[in-house]
Amino acid sequence: MSFAFGIGIGTQNNQGEWLEVFYQQPVLSPDSVLLEVAGNVLDYTSGNRAIAANGDTLKNLAGALRQAGQAEQANLAAKAAESRRPVVVTLLDTDDTASSTPEVYLKLHLISHRLVRPHGVKLDGIFGLLPNLAWTSEGAIDLNELPERQLQARIEGRTLEVKSVDKFPQMTDYVVPKGVRIADTARVRLGAYVGEGTTIMHEGFINFNAGTEGASMIEGRVSAGVMIGKGSDLGGGCSTMGTLSGGGNIVISVGENCLLGANAGIGIPLGDRCTVEAGLYITSGTKVALLDDSNELVDVLKARDLAGKSDLLFRRNSQTGAVECKTNKSAIALNEELHANN
């Protein structure tokens, strides 16, 4: 069984190099009929390939797909045949290391479409295949071509707005998942997995290959590689240490019904029903005083020894400054009405 398939409409620079690709209906684990039809029309046999397709080829593909009962992809191919932008058909036989920009974009779409969870696809080496672009009011533009485009816009009486300069676009220009609220869409990158019921407030941020399981409140930073469990609340300005920002190969995650207070942070995974008080940043090497129910010292250990354990309350002693950990007696329950996204 093959890994993925997608018909994408993209952007190329003046040298014909791919800058970005939009896949409206990516397919995970495409069936053999779809692959056989695409293979016959596109002269594809196997392997991971991104095949540029013109209007005539796409019309042939649409007709063949329709005859084979692949109505959804047939309709997409027919629409793509009328595109003014270049079209690519990407076929991934295996989830191997990507070798082209269209392949990377297909994998990022699979995550944001919730077809694959973070860490569910191989993303090694993608930075070298994602060009740093100007993301503008007229789409992606090669930075070398930006000055001329800006001048041309002014001559024509327009202003070309540059929204960001980055390797990743914002997710909502490509995918808007069902049942979410995103106050500032620029703060969620393509390749984020945003679970149904999630609310992301203005200061919230979700990187690629990271996300939320479901109904959660995100007012802090969800770094690359981090997954947040259902019912958890990340307070304003809090941070999770991702594998791209000093976390090494430790996969940081937050369990269900947890609370990270405002400006708190974690460099260890948390289990369920954990609380980290506002302003407290815990790294794996942080010394933690473990207290019993009577507030008596049981042991002093490193935070990594508590990684993944549930029902913990992390706080700082206001008198000594020591970081303490107790059993968390009160689980955090999100306000159901406040977080309704339908």
Q: Which two tokens stand for residue 117?
A: 């969870």
Q: Report how far residue 129's alpha carbon sits from residue 125's, in angstroms, rounded to the nearest whole number.
A: 7
Q: Which amino acid is at 185?
A: T
Q: Report how far residue 262's alpha carbon sits from residue 282's, in angstroms, rounded to the nearest whole number.
A: 13
Burial classification of residue 299, based on how many CB atoms lie within 10 Å of its CB (0-12 exposed, 13-18 middle, 19 or more buried): exposed
Neighbours of 335 (CB within 10 A): 9
Q: Tell me how far apart the terminal alpha carbons of the chain are, to the nearest angstrom.
A: 36
**Strand pairing class (275-276; 259-260):** parallel
Half-sphere exposure of 98 (CA within 13 A, CB side): 23
Q: Which two tokens stand for residue 84?
A: 């003014």
Helical (H) or strand (E) element with 234: strand 233-234
Task: Pick the catalytic residue from 20, 203, 219, 256.
Answer: 219
Q: Report how far residue 317's alpha carbon sits from residue 221's, in angstroms, rounded to the nearest whole number.
A: 25
Q: Which two tokens stand for residue 339?
A: 């977080």
Query: Angle at CA 46, nearest 5°, toward 42 and 49?
Result: 65
Q: Is 161 a catalytic residue?
A: no
Active-site residues: which are they?
219
